[in-house]
Amino acid sequence: MYGWVGKILKVDLSERKITTEPTEDYIDEYIGGRGLGARLIYNEYKPGTDALDPGNPLIFNTGPLTGTALPGSGRVDVTAVSPMSRLRAKSNFGAYWGPELKYAGYDHIVIMGKSEKPCYLSIRDGQVEIRDAAQLWGKDTFETQKLIQQELGDSETKVVCIGPAGERLVRFACLITETGDAAGRTGMGAVMGSKNLKAIAVRGSGSVQVARPAEFLEQSIQVNREIREHPAYAELSQWGVARGVHMMYAMSFFPVGYFEDVCWEELLEKYQGPAYVEKYSMKNMGCFCCPNRCMNFFSVPGIGKGLTSCEPFSGFTGAVWNLDMDVFWEATLLVNKMGIDCTETSATIGLLMELYHDGIITAKETDGVAMERGSKEAILSTIRKIAGREGIGDVLAEGQMAAAKQFGPDAVEKVDQVKGLAPHGYEFRAFKGTGLMQAVGHRGDPLPLRGSLLEVDWHHAPEWFQSVGKEQFGSEEAAIPTSYIGKAKSTIISEHMERVPDSLGICKWLYNLFIYNDVKMATRLFGMVTGKDWEIEQMMEAGERVRNLERMFDVRQGLRRVDDSLPKKFFEVPLSKGKYKGEVMDREKFEQMKDEYYELRGWNKESGVPTRAKLEELGLRDVADEVLGSN
């Protein structure tokens, strides 16, 4: 087989049974990666099973392009049922583990059951072993990786693991590989912890076969060059996102505090991210075969070394009212070592700060620590307590809502969540399309979708990006942040586009968002590697099939139109200052965008459920029969 290595590994930890199944049966409809993973979980999960029950399958998905000589080919998609929402979880991580899994002989891993004792999985060139992890239990994610490499006597073994937070079933625990690559969101660490599974170590000397190697080599060298000549590259490979964060705050696109407002003058004036990069970043690094290097490797004396990108730069600054970059770095390193999702953790701390600020809680509720805005002690001690489930951390580990219920109804009123997740890190009041994408999205965060970033790009050259909006999404208004027009269509197209790189096992930053703004290049590369010369339309149809299947999984879990919403703050509290002063999401217009979205999708407008006709058109008759009932 070209592209795919051909096998799905199935591990039952209760029975200690290891089997395989061919990948080939699924690829024409679901490609691989996220798409195929969605089909696997739909098939394997029995409705009614609790997220932390042994019956919840934990599934790792690489795609046909993962591990090929191609920029951004290091991605892995992870799915299970989320302990935060009871909907389908989805998280994606990069670095070097995914390619190694393919070289070891597998496209996907499905993990079922629960080991009697702590264990880890070792996969070496088709040899799969369930090994004892007693000596690893309690270790942080950095130590765990080192100890496994030592035990197996191979420093090139790639490890994805959980930290102490995952072992203790913190509901937003994550998976970590290397020093800062995470399957961060939706609580995959808790699911792995519930199986008594500490880590998966992989090592392979195999290969990914390529259908047209000479053509692929030439094209891939070209892609490498195009990326390096792109303006986004100059920024990301040197600064990571550190400078972009400030720009986002200036445009009221990132929340300050717990979405209390979006303009914090002090932050705009004093944000030290870029200076910190200049002072402490040893080098920029990226994932497998990627020239783009969007992550900073910091080495800070007295705090430590590691990688970070993206959300910590706003999560541990603006979202918790912090301007001290040492605190940002200590917090980031701590969540990565403990294995908890930075985004949910910073939002949780932001919530406590808002409650404290508004006098709803006092230091008494938080073990004597005053949750003052920006307080170093408040930030760091809360992280430690969540990871260790100590004091107030025990209930915080159950999620924001569980904690708020303990504090009382005023606190419950304050909780901003969408589908059980903190909707950080974008702000939606001025960005209507982003708001819609967030609300109807498969998980409760906005994820960078192309249509959403178009609303950001618009600020740089309004007329140009309006013409892009017209060309790509059928309407100039699609690019204008404050307009409600054309957003349903841009959401739909962006959603299908997003599923293409995710299913191919490549980076959507490169092949969707920043370098190539559509799926043409990804589709071409797919053809050269696999020998399947699909048209763009066929690729986008696979994206639509995956989107509908994912929706049906959640419909089977009870999801309906009413769940596609935003916290009421976004409808009721206008922005008090900044560039978009006075902006608020208009509820009626918001619901109209949703109507338009469901109609264009071929979904039932009242319930938000895909129609039988749409499902049959996409070849999902069996899913329609099971979930909608056969008639």
Q: Which residues bind other proteins (CB under 8 A)?
A: 67-69, 71, 96, 99, 103, 142, 145-146, 155-156, 178-179, 204-210, 213-214, 216-217, 220-221, 224-225, 228, 237, 282-293, 297, 299, 305-307
Half-sphere exposure of 559 (CA within 13 A, CB side): 28
How far apart CA 486 and CA 10 sit, in angstroms, is 44
Complex with other proteins: residue 283 or 560, whichever CB lies closer: 283
Complex with other proteins: residue 158 or 195, whichever CB lies closer: 158
Smallest gap, in angstroms, from Cβ of residue 521 to other proteins?
Answer: 16
Asked if the peptide bond before residue 105 counts as cis, ω within 30 degrees of 0, the response is: no
Determine contact, residues 210/124, Cβ cutoff 8 Å. no
Complex with other proteins: residue 254 or 280, whichever CB lies closer: 280
Round to the nearest angstrom and report the end-to-end CA distance of the chain: 39
Smallest gap, in angstroms, from Cβ of residue 286 to other proteins?
Answer: 6
Q: What contacts 411, CB < 8 A, 6 or more positions away?
A: 355, 360, 361, 403, 404, 405
Smallest gap, in angstroms, from Cβ of residue 333 to other proteins?
Answer: 11
Complex with other proteins: residue 299 or 362, whichever CB lies closer: 299
**What is the residue-wise DSSP string for 487-527?**
HHHHHHHHHHHHHHHHHHTS-HIIIIISSS-SSHHHHHHHH
Complex with other proteins: residue 210 or 615, whichever CB lies closer: 210
Complex with other proteins: residue 291 or 444, whichever CB lies closer: 291
Neighbouring-strand partners of residue 378 = none
How far apart CA 291 and CA 233 sit, in angstroms, is 8
Element (H, E) at 298: strand 295-300
Smallest gap, in angstroms, from Cβ of residue 516 to other proteins?
Answer: 17
Complex with other proteins: residue 37 or 291, whichever CB lies closer: 291
Determine contact, residues 162/81, Cβ cutoff 8 Å. no
Element (H, E) at 566: none
Smallest gap, in angstroms, from Cβ of residue 52 to other proteins?
Answer: 31
Smallest gap, in angstroms, from Cβ of residue 131 to other proteins?
Answer: 22
Complex with other proteins: residue 219 or 382, whichever CB lies closer: 219
DSSP state of 153: T
Smallest gap, in angstroms, from Cβ of residue 432 to other proteins?
Answer: 37
Smallest gap, in angstroms, from Cβ of residue 299 to other proteins?
Answer: 7
How far apart CA 300 and CA 332 sit, in angstroms, is 12
Reading the block at residue 315, the tokens are 């999560």
